[in-house]
Amino acid sequence: MKKLILAWTLGLVSVSGFTQPRLPEHYYWEKMPNGLEVVVIENNKVPLATIEIAVKNGAYTEGPEYSGLSHLFEHMFFKANKDYPDQAKFLKRTQELGAIWNGSTGAERVNYFFTFDKDSLDAGLRFMNAAIRFPIYRVEDMKKERPVVDGEFQRFESDPSSQLWLACQKKLWGDLVTRKNAIGIHEVINTATPEKMMIIKNKYYFPNNSILVICGDVKHEDAFAMTQNIFGSWESSGFDPQVKFPIPEFTPLTSTEYFVNESTVAQTPLEMYWWQGPDSRHDSASTVAADVFFTILGMNSSKWQQALVDKGLASIASAQYLTSKYVGPVFLYLMPNPNKLKAFNDEILHQVKQWGNDDYFTDAQLEDAKQILRRKAIRQKEKPSRLPDFLTSDWCSTSLDYFTDYDDNCQKITRDDIKRFVHRYITGKPYVAGMIISPAMNKQFNASADFKPAL
């Protein structure tokens, strides 16, 4: 009752009511009347505070005409705003605060964070408020930033694994590929205008589409009071951006496709296999089962590693799943031995076909995988400044309850859960398989001829 009265006093309880999410110990949540969700994580390991704001924006909101603008928006966030009208003043203020800062753009989240001395919390929140609510998009600033973004493009395009990744994405997602490609399209970035940037802001940059996380040596009552005082006047959009601008559903794959791309920068052959896997909206249980299963495959004792790496068929045989709200991909990243390409490709398909078998992994391996994930979770919590990142990622792509329950749910995964995931999304399902190889090596080993589905 005391906490509820305090929340009303601070003006943080939505008048329309709310459902209190489950959160770990020392995590505190409130929702402001304007829809902004605020989480305070009390962690006094070091006398610092980290503030992070995340927006449900990113590649998944972008059709071809806007592809990459969320990425450019992230870069422009650190340029100029109403309180600091040019980048020099912005950077000077970060130095005064002693702040470490950065941001990122993914498929389903854009986030920005600052870490500074705990005594600068009020000042840091005001600094974040100016940047998120009152950006200034000047043509000259955008011209200066384009080469920076273009440099990211060039690094991306010079990497053979990135080349192969993009080629696979185009086949996996078809006409909606821009909604999975956060880096964007050259031409869109290079022709972006302040007016286009405001279109992005006026669609998604509202408190009711954002979450603010404050973590560190702070008291949650004080942090909530500061947040209400600073962000309370940020007006809600009056609509749900995810409803007003609905995300189109990805078209299921209907057939398997293999392709080979030649590139002179590919010093060794690389292969990728991609399936359309589960998403958190329709099958959150399988998203957890996938993480446990691929942890098993990453163990040196697994049949997967022994068949591919230990026998010299590959130097890398990685299998992963990316948790997503809109169709999470399952993918294999493979670096085969060029002298054993045919044997390698045959063994890949042989192994995948066995994934759903009862004897593909042991009870001991299942338990070991759970303990690996448990230890990983403990290590991730050792650095307070990283905690907001984990929480906002799940808030955007799953939910706060999913975030809170994830570690326990990993420990509950059974063999049947994994078999269900494999049979529902992998066994007998269409996929995309791509190889990138140098022209000389392709000719030498006749690689294209051996890269094909089993008969």
State how many domains the chain has: 2
Question: How far apart are alpha carbons 163 and 278 in whole angstroms?
Answer: 25
**2 part of a folded domain:** no
Q: Say if residue 264 is in the same domain as residue 119.
A: no
**3-class secondary structure, 74:** helix
281 in the same domain as 190:
no
Phi, psi of 68 (to 5 degrees): 100, -10
Cα–Cα distance measured from residue 400 to residue 280, given in angstroms and rounded to the nearest whole number: 12
Same domain, 27 and 118: yes
Q: What are the pLDDT tens digits along the chain (455 aa)?
A: 333 323 333 334 333 446 899 999 999 999 999 999 999 999 999 999 999 999 999 999 999 999 999 999 898 999 999 999 998 999 999 999 999 999 999 999 999 999 999 999 999 999 999 999 999 998 888 888 878 887 888 888 889 999 999 999 999 999 999 999 999 998 898 889 999 999 999 999 999 999 999 999 999 999 999 999 999 999 999 999 999 999 999 999 999 999 999 999 999 999 999 999 999 999 999 999 999 999 999 999 999 999 999 999 999 999 999 999 999 999 999 999 999 999 999 999 999 999 999 999 999 999 999 999 999 999 999 999 999 999 999 999 999 999 999 999 999 999 999 999 999 999 999 999 999 999 999 999 888 888 988 75
Q: Assign residue 34 the CATH number of its domain.
A: 3.30.830.10
**Cα 384 to Cα 36: distance, rounded to the nearest angstrom:** 22
Quote the Cα angle for 223-224-230, to 5°: 90
Instruction: Give a yes or no: residue 103 inside a domain.
Output: yes
| Domain finish residue from 203, 237, 271 | 237
For residue 18, what pLDDT is reported? 63
What pLDDT sits at residue 145? 82
Q: Is residue 245 part of a domain?
A: no
273 and 334 together in one domain:
yes
Residue 247 belongs to a domain: no
Q: What is the DSSP letter of 24?
A: -
Q: Which domain holds residue 288?
A: 257-450
Give the pLDDT of residue 14. Answer: 37
Give the residue from 38, 60, 438, 384 showing the smallest Cα distance to 263. Answer: 438
Please say which residue of 185, 206, 237 terminates a domain: 237
Q: In what order do the strands lie in the sheet with 210-216?
A: 27-31, 37-42, 210-216, 48-55, 110-117, 100-105
Same domain, 216 and 271: no
Cα–Cα distance, 374 to 198 (Å, whole number): 43
Query: What DSSP element (H or E) covers 384?
Result: none
Is residue 333 a contact partner of residue 272, using CB atoms and an 8 Å limit?
A: yes
Of 202, 237, 272, the domain-final residue: 237
Same domain, 233 and 288: no
Does any domain span residue 244? no
Q: Tell me the C-alpha distance between 231 and 238, whole Å.
A: 16
Q: Is residue 347 a contact partner of residue 313, using CB atoms and an 8 Å limit? A: yes
- In this structure, is residue 248 part of a structural domain? no
- What is the per-residue pLDDT for 293? 98
Give the residues across from 272 on adjacent strands. Answer: 333, 434
- pLDDT tens digits along 362-401: 999 999 999 999 999 999 999 999 999 999 999 999 999 9
Same structural domain for residues 298 and 209?
Answer: no
297 in the same domain as 418:
yes
